[in-house]
Amino acid sequence: MKGMFNKAISLNLTTNESRTIQLEDDLYLNYLGGRGLGVKLFTDKVSPKVDPLSPDNALVFTIGPLTGTAVSTSGRMALVTKSPLTGTIFYSNTGGMFGFNFKRCGIDGLIIEGASSKPVYLLLDGDKDIEIKDASALWGLNTEETYDKIIELEGPKSNTLMIGPAGEHQVRMASIMNNAERAFGRGGVGAVMGSKNLKAIVVKNGTHKTEVHDPELMMKYAKSAIDKQQALPVTRAAYPLFGTAGTLEVINGLGMLPIKNFTSGQHEEAKKTGGEAIRRELLDKTEACYACTIKCGRLTHAGDMKGKGPEYETVWALGANCEVFNLVKIAQANYYCNQLGIDTISMGVTISCAMELQEMKLLPYPEVTFGNEDVLAELVKKTAYRDGIGNELAEGSKRLAVKYGNAQSAIQVKGLELPAYDPRGAMGHALGYATSNRGGCHLTGYMAAMEIFSAPKRIPRFTQGGKADLLVLKQHQSAVEDSLVSCKFAGFAVGFDFWSRFTTTITGLDFNISALLKIGERIYNLERLYNVGAGFTELEDILPERFSKDVLPEGLSKDRTVNIKSMLEDYYAVRKWNEHGVPVQTKLDELGLHLLKE
């Protein structure tokens, strides 16, 4: 099969042994690459009962058949592990240039097991064997310092994944930073890397090109896809001009922007922190990932600090949801998250949870109050080093709220903090939160695309019936996009038929739409089986209690409480799962899967 190299590297950091694994075409036919390949390699190796921070957990980095081609947004790569924040199987992906340079080393995946007895970093230098190098001089550095030091040690063409102090201290929301600017952001994947004493992964000097079955036809499709991106307002103008934060005022206007830990959905001050304000007050220049024509990235300044972002989710989590509307303070807290290696969504939502607990007189930290903009950066730093209250924030909102006696203050699903769309404003999106395999995630099946942004078409956002079928379709499509690996923004502009065309012209095999959707279904069900093996049941397919109560956020004028139970019954029926959310045997047989054992 063209487009992939049919091999991966397996490395055990306990024994320092590495080996090259040959991967058969059948694996790609069933799981493509990226997320799907990672999920299959991971579930074959790691027990669902494993402690996420033990040496027995693994990190599986993978690329897809689109990675490194001329297809727009094709520079991405995926990661699969077990999350220390949620206890679920967890997939993540990142953009920038790392995926492209990783694939040029001629491998499709890197599987990391065990744990080193001392700080190390890994070097993939072209066709040379993987090297394990001493990272004692890097341990304790923030991500910007680490990146600068790697460039000094390995040369200017080095691309680096790294953890900051948050990963070193195994903060449950720690990220893996990509060249100090982008991230494998959610789920505490950086803590897994820290538990292995692994500071960084460096790639350089790769010479392998992605072999394409029909380059001429692929380029024709690629140009057509770019034309479609240029025809859609959000990818032609909104994201290039205002970045992802350009959607903030739209969501606020719909009453769906969570304010004060999801107790309101709209605030007149929110516009001070949107994409237009960032462009006007902070923007230095825009930037893009490999092979991307959208250029949603923002390089900015705030006071005496500089960095990347803040993105929409970040400006909300560290801003409106904490009732903070000072853009400079929000941006600076964002920079600290990037430097220290922390997921901005979970960090912001955990802070807002703490603020609510303090307002209820349950939390003994009087300075942690809604609207206190001066406490944001300090809480980020304390969390990264597990200092004082930071040691409690580092555990995430679910554990924090349970400890202080009000679990409902934690706005999460399966332990993963919810992102910046109030579920009461889009019922299909709400169901997506509840059923996501990795927890409270908006990208697993992005129903907001249709319910809010009319991509590819608008559907009524407040109706609850009939949403299960559409969500299941979106979840399968998303699994395919994450396995190719492509950007969700490209999917706004091009139909799913384009992913079929690209995959077929690159690989030389017939990946029609039905075949791709079956792959997406297989991936989603395998993830579900892993979670079932880890002890998850239908009881975790829920939303926080406040979304089913009659108290509505400002901006929503009608009774729009979420009845997850009725939608969940429809969802299980569509999926052919039983009442406990477990795939029935006929579905397992159809997909070639089986229940996972310890």
In a 3-state reduction of DSSP, which class is residue 102?
helix
In a 3-state reduction of DSSP, which class is residue 141?
coil
Query: CB neighbours of 220 closer than 8 A, spacing ≥ 6?
Result: none
Q: Which residue has the tokens 């057509």?
A: 224
Q: Where are the domains of the chain?
A: 7-204, 232-417, 423-591
Query: CB neighbours of 310 closer than 8 A, spacing ≥ 6?
Result: 245, 278, 298, 300, 318, 330, 331, 334, 344
Cβ atoms of residues 93 and 35 within 8 Å: yes
Q: How many beta carbons lie within 10 A of that of residue 329, not counting itself?
A: 22
Cis peptide before 583 (omega within 30 of 0): no
> What dihedral do alpha carbons 390, 392, 397, 403 form, nearest 10°?
-160
Q: How far apart are CA 183 and CA 203, in angstroms?
A: 16
Half-sphere exposure of 321 (CA within 13 A, CB side): 33
Q: Which two tokens stand for residue 176?
A: 């893996």
In a 3-state reduction of DSSP, which class is residue 190?
helix
Q: How far apart are CA 596 and CA 525, in angstroms?
A: 11
Residue 509 phi/psi, 5-degree rounding, is -115, 160
Kindly give the confidence (pLDDT) of every residue in the chain, 598 residues in length, as a single tens digit, with 9 standing for 90 and above. 899 999 999 999 999 999 999 999 999 999 999 999 999 999 999 999 999 999 999 999 999 999 999 999 999 999 999 999 999 999 999 999 999 999 999 999 999 999 999 999 999 999 999 999 999 999 999 999 999 999 999 999 999 999 999 999 999 999 999 999 999 999 999 999 999 999 999 999 999 999 999 999 999 999 999 999 999 888 999 999 999 999 999 999 999 999 999 999 999 999 999 999 999 999 999 999 999 999 999 999 999 999 999 999 999 999 999 999 999 999 999 999 999 999 999 999 999 999 999 999 999 999 999 999 999 999 999 999 999 999 999 999 999 999 999 999 999 999 999 999 999 999 999 999 999 999 999 999 999 989 998 888 899 999 998 899 999 999 999 999 999 999 989 888 888 999 999 999 999 999 999 999 999 999 999 999 999 999 999 999 999 999 987 555 555 555 567 889 999 999 999 999 999 999 999 999 999 999 876 5
Alpha-carbon separation of residue 28 from 330, 483, 554 (angstroms): 42, 10, 48
Cβ atoms of residues 489 and 239 within 8 Å: yes
| Domain 7-204, CATH number (from 3.30.70.580, 3.60.9.10, 3.40.190.10, 3.30.1490.100) | 3.60.9.10
Cis peptide before 80 (omega within 30 of 0): no
Ramachandran sector of residue 125 (left: φ over 0; alpha: ψ -120 to 50; beta: rest)? beta
Q: Which residue has the tokens 């970045």?
A: 243
Say whether pTM exceeds 0.95.
yes
Q: Which CATH class is domain 423-591?
A: mainly alpha
Q: Is 54 exposed, middle or buried (0-12, 13-18, 19+ CB in 10 A)?
A: middle
Q: How far apart are CA 342 and CA 118, in angstroms?
A: 22
Q: Which of 256, 249, 253, 318 is nearest to 279 (CA)?
A: 249
CATH fold for domain 232-417: 1.10.569
Q: Which two tokens stand for residue 449?
A: 């695309």
Q: Which residue has the tokens 């603020």?
A: 355
Q: Which residues sit opposite 19 in a β-bridge?
A: 10
In a 3-state reduction of DSSP, which class is residue 476?
helix
Please report the sign of the dihedral spanned by the C-alpha atoms of residue 97, residue 102, residue 108, residue 111.
Answer: negative
In a 3-state reduction of DSSP, which class is residue 174?
strand
Alpha-carbon separation of residue 134 from 150, 175, 199 (angstroms): 12, 21, 10
Q: How far apart are CA 492 and CA 240, in angstroms?
A: 14
Question: Of how many residues is the chain composed?
Answer: 598
